[in-house]
Structure 1
Amino acid sequence: MRVHVLYIYKRIWEYMEKEEFISVSAHVADGSATESDLIIYNTYYDHFQTDHPEWNTVSDRDKEEIKNTLYQKIDTGIHPARKSTGIIKLWPQITAAAVLLLTVGIAVLFYFKHQPSSQMQLVNDVAPGKNTAILTLANGKKIDLGGTRAGKVVAYGNVTVTRTKNGQLLYAFNNNPKTNTGDQQVAYNTISTPRGGQIQINLPDGTRVWLNADSRLIIPSTFNLQPNRQVKMEGEGYFEVAHNPNKPFQVTTNDQVVEVLGTHFNINSYADEPETKTTLLAGSVKVNQQILKPGQQSVISGNEIKVLTVDPETETGWKDGVFIFDGQDFKSLMRTISRWYDVEVVYEYVPENLHIVARVSRYRNISEVLRRLEQTEDVNFKIEGRRIRVIK
């Protein structure tokens, strides 16, 4: 199985922990691997072939013995579960793929043990972000939702916000006709995440929204009363919109309006990014009258909109706790890290033409993430508390 990277990079590198590689390998084995998974997998494989000739010193006889042992273990573990004709027909390919994965996995374990130590300059490490948010009521009152226990958090007017045991926010409207009339004055409540924070919000219609760091979701008091369900957003959010053909859902950002009935999509609309990106995972959406299909992304820059075909996972990995870098501009990559760890990035050196393909857990200290980037040998970092210096 081969994948050719369609970009020209100064260096393409991927460093991950054993558990992360096993996860990617499993996707390759069961056929669910994304393009990003395949790029990462093949990058490792090519690296072993070219930079670790010592692995090839294993005799053909020993390799064959390892291969037969793996076949037997896989056969014993999986064959008893086979019942359908389809699985029996596919078994040789599945076994072959699994053996390849396990063989390369052995090489990966060897490789992890021989990693050179980082020369990173570290003065106080920085922990990753966490589930936290601030509710700003229409009257300007701010309520910190980060440290509250499960149960009712706040009730104001016709709104109740409750924090669940797993840290989600349930945003609901009461049914009091005196406060829930159609002619009431529109008020706006805002749920925002600070730098270094994220949160999941469940709206009254069943829609679920994940807010990334330094983002805001603005909800009108008439959300459940008007013909359209309307919210405003700043920053980055992932939406799973509850289907309701009688009430289309609208998300407004600084330079676009996204219209849907029920679908899954991601919006990246940070003020410090040059473009606004909307990526569709399922269903369909209309972005400024441009209809997207699953796997497509609209990119708005100024008054121009273009539609690209992308791997949606690279845009939504943050929601699942993973940084997925797919060759974007180095400074854009660092802005992503800066928002999640709430740090300032100072450039004493800017690596030219450095584009990185990488998958790194968002739940590691910042030093671990930056060490992965240092393995390109094109950039180094100095961590001074909440200030990161980029050095040569």
Structure 2
Amino acid sequence: MATEKIKDLLQKQQSGQLTDEEKAILDTWYLKLSQTETAEVNESDMTNRLDAVWAGLQVNKKSPEKIYNLWLRIAAAASILLILSIGGYLALRKLQQPVQIAQTQIKDILPGHNQATLTLANGRKIVLTKGLTGQLATQGATVIQANGNNISYNDEKKSTPISYNTLVTARGEQSPYPLILADGTKVWLNAASSITFPTAFPGKERIVKITGEAYFEVAHNNKQSFKVESAGQVTEDIGTHFNVMTYADEPVSKVTLAEGSVKVNGHLLKPGEQTINTNGLIKIAQANVGFELAWKDGYFRFTGSPITSVMRELARWYNIEVIYQGKISTDGYYGTISRYKNISQALHMLSYSNQVHFKMEGRRIIVTE
């Protein structure tokens, strides 16, 4: 079936394994489908059209010269491909014309922004934004400094006793730059997250606590292990890069290792692996590190995620309420969306599956079948 062949190409595209010929075939398929689509089509008609478009490609008869000519025609017609024109690509199982997103008011919902709030030991709060510079405060012998690109804790005297500070991002926020702890470790926070940490690390261990999601680049110190405590699990390492996702509204917690070596509740990870913690039961799996860290680079990336999982991510970043009505599809979504698009643009891309429909009411998004 043409649909199965196209599905195979979509899967190869997601893993970066498409050849130039296969890319030309897939893009031409999109182009021809868009030219033959009508406003209303049932699933049987759609399957027939997919078969017809596939047959018309003559993929077994093309010479390299024909492939090259095909690619030139595709480039000339690229402007009609809506998926590319709105700055992202979403590869979905069912490809039909997008449904209209109903809005009860014109005002769109803007994406989240780069901001976090630092709470000092004495309760004083400092709002952190890009461009902030100068000495912000002192905590004992530790000086808190901002230079526009980071906020750092400098403790030249290795002071004791120590105090604790907390950095928090609300829904619709992410840290504007890395937090540099007194040992040199760098930390980034995703939306609706927090880290509580000491102003200095004089002891044998360096321990911090987080909620939500954080990415760490730990400063190497053989004599002083680094531990992250989160939702009933402890992530321990000496010097490495890893991501911890432990949102209370997610069914699992994940620790994904990008570089180095790390232990999670005694389970040793290698780069490219992750632990998946389900109610205290931990298993080790291969991870798509690029997808797990996409939030830090300004993207949503989905790999077989159901719409409920997708909407939880959007809810945290856009600070929206999501309501489901009726039976909702459990089919998976694959693709990439910029975190800097307005909510209507993100929902428009998701609507290409025609599995769900969206209605906007203020900051509430209603999802229906």
What TM-score bracket applies, with the shorter chain setting the length? 0.7 to 0.9
Matches for 1:295-306 after TM superposition, within 5 Å: 295-306=272-283
Give matches, 1:277-292, under 5 Å. Answer: 277-292=254-269
Q: 1:326 aligns with which of 290, 303, 308?
A: 303
Cα deviation for residue 47 of structure 1 reads 5.3
Say if 1:334 and 1:345, in contact at 8 Å, map to a contact too.
yes
1:16-31 equivalence runs, <5 A: none
What is the aligned counterpart of 1:190 among 162, 166, 172?
166
1:205 corresponds, among 183, 197, 203, to: 183
Q: Is residue 245 from structure 1 mapped to residue 245 from structure 2 by the alignment? A: no
* Structure 1, 151-160 or 122-131: larger mean CA deviation: 151-160
Q: How many angstroms does 1:262 deviate by?
A: 1.2
**1:220 equivalenced with 2:220 (yes/no):** no
Q: Aligned pairs, how many?
A: 328
Q: Is the 8 A contact 1:12 1:355 kept in 2?
A: no
- The change in CA–CA distance for 1:34 and 1:52 in structure 2 (over 3 A counts) is closer
Distance 1:56 1:142, change over 3 A: same
The aligned residue for residue 8 of structure 1 is none
* Aligned residue identity for 2:165: N
Deviation at 1:219, TM superposition (A): 0.8
Is the Cα–Cα contact under 8 Å of residues 55 and 107 in structure 1 kept in the other structure? no
Partner of 2:101: 120
Deviation of residue 266 (structure 1)? 0.8
Residue 173 (structure 1) aligned with residue 154 (structure 2) = yes
Q: What's the C-alpha RMSD, in Å, of the aligned pairs?
A: 3.7
Query: What secondary structure is seen at the aligned counterpart in 2 of 1:375?
Result: helix
Q: Does 1:354 align with 2:301?
A: no
- Could you tell me how far apart the structure 2 residues matched to 1:103 and 1:236 are? 44
**Distance in 2 of aligned mates of 1:34 and 1:160:** 46
1:188-227 Cα offsets, whole Å, 9 max, x none, are 100111111111222233322111000001111342x112
Q: Secondary structure at the match of 1:327?
A: strand
Q: Residue 117 and residue 68 in structure 1: after superposition, are their counterparts in 2 closer, same or farther (change >3 A)? A: closer
Q: 1 CA distance for matches of 2:81 and 2:136?
A: 49
Cα deviation, residue 340, structure 1: 0.6
Give the AA of the match of 1:218: T
Matched, 1:342 2:323: no
Asked if the contact 1:228–1:249 (Cα under 8 Å) also holds between the matched residues in 2, the reply is yes
Give the secondary-structure state (helix, strand or coil) at the position aligned to 2:312: helix
Distance 1:174 1:215 in 2: 25
C-alpha spacing 1:325/1:312, structure 2 compared with 1 (3 Å):
same
* Mapped partners of 1:205, 1:69: distance in 2: 58
Structure 1, unaligned runs of 5 or more: 6-10, 15-27, 71-98
Q: 1:69 to 1:164 in 2, by over 3 A?
A: farther
Q: Would you say the 8 A contact 1:13–1:376 is kept in 2?
A: no
Q: Secondary structure at the match of 1:367?
A: helix
Counterparts of 1:288 and 1:47, CA distance in 2: 48
TM-score if structure 2 supplies the norm length?
0.77
C-alpha deviations, 1:247-286, integer Å up to 9, x for none?
2211111211111111111110011112110011111100
Aligned pair in 2 of structure 1 residues 103, 326: CA closer, same or farther (>3 Å)? farther
Match for 1:211: what amino acid?
L
Q: Deviations over 1:160-185 (max 9, x none)?
A: 333333xx43221343x5xx543x2x
Separation in 1 of the partners of 2:9 and 2:368? Answer: 19
2:118·2:127 contact (CA, 8 Å) conserved in 1?
A: yes
Identity %: 36
Confirm or deny that 1:260 pairs with 2:241: no
Compared CA separation, residues 132 and 12, structure 1 to 2 (3 A): farther
In the alignment, is the contact (CA less than 8 A) between 1:160 and 1:173 conserved in 2?
yes
Matched AA of 2:314:
I
Change (3 A) 1:12 1:321: farther
Contact 1:158 1:221 (8 Å CA) reproduced: no
Matches within 5 A, 1:58-77: none
Aligned to 1:93: none
